[in-house]
């Protein structure tokens, strides 16, 4: 049984304008669908019948009709939401890339290279971000030019062990790993 709907039906002037808009062929697909819903509703159909005839979900029809109730034919011009707003600013993204481009030992950390977990912890500790998942951080880095194929698939312990073995083989005069492009270790922690 369809739920009760208290939205007013389009009057004759509004129906005429809807028909003119459909005939003029200047509506987008979304606007055309909204106009069709309103025209069928003006003929006395309920939302469930409209949804079935246009292959829409009933909730979509209810949303269109409620929007029409509140804003009239301006519902045709309304742009639907396109997801959540971005949570990272462009300044934050640039700072993440800048920090990721530096080896962690230059920032006073005991790591030879960044892992996603270490970089995430550092960014939160330095209050660059309140929170970020490792997966989101990986996507930000990938968009920033860090190719995932360049990241080491080794665990953090293996990566640090490799750095420590390099230090031992280089002799006592060398105190830090060689400079070069910063690498990432993708660990599962």
Would you kindly state where each structural domain of the chain is located, as residue ranges?
12-76, 90-185
Average pLDDT over residues 177-188: 48
Predicted confidence band at 183 (pLDDT cuts at 50, 70, 90)? Answer: low
> Using one digit for the tens of pLDDT, what is the confidence trace for 45-99?
999 999 999 999 999 999 999 999 988 888 888 776 667 777 888 899 999 999 9
Checking if the pLDDT of 189 tops 60, the result is: no
Checking if the pLDDT of 29 tops 90, the result is: no
Mean pLDDT (the chain, rounded): 79
pTM for this prediction: 0.45
Looking at mean pLDDT, say which of 26-30, 36-40, 142-146, 177-181 comes out highest: 36-40
pLDDT at 110: 93
Average pLDDT over residues 131-146: 91
Q: Give the 3-state DSSP-derived string for the chain, with helices as H, strands as E and coil as C.
A: CCCCCCCCCCCHHHHHHHHHHHHHCCCCHHHHHHHHHHHHHHCCCCHHHHHHHHCCCHHHHHHHHHHHHHHHHHHHCCCCCCCCCCCCCHHHHHHHHHHHCCCHHHHCCCCCCEEHHHHHHHHHHCCCCCCCCHHHHHHHHHHCCCCHHHCECCCHHHHHHHHHHHHHHHCCCCCCCCCCCCCEECCCC
Checking if the pLDDT of 127 tops 70, the result is: yes
């Amino acid at each position: 049984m369809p739920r009760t709907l208290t939205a007013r039906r389009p009057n004759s002037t509004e129906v005429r304008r809807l028909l003119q808009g459909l005939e003029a062929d200047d509506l987008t697909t979304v606007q055309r669908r909204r106009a069709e819903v309103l025209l069928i509703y003006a003929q006395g159909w309920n939302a469930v019948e409209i949804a079935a005839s246009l292959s829409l979900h009933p909730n979509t029809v209810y949303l269109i009709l409620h929007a029409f109730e509140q804003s009239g034919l301006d519902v045709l011009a309304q742009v639907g939401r396109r997801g959540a707003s971005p949570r990272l600013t462009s300044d934050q993204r640039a700072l993440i890339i800048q920090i990721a481009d530096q080896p962690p030992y230059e920032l006073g950390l005991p790591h030879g290279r960044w892992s996603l977990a270490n970089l995430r912890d550092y960014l939160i500790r330095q209050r660059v971000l309140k929170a970020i998942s490792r997966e989101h951080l990986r996507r930000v880095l990938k968009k920033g030019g860090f190719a995932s194929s360049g990241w080491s698939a080794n665990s953090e312990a293996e990566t640090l062990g490799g750095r420590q073995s390099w230090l031992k083989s280089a002799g006592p005069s060398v105190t830090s790993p060689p400079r070069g492009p910063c690498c990432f270790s993708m660990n599962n922690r």
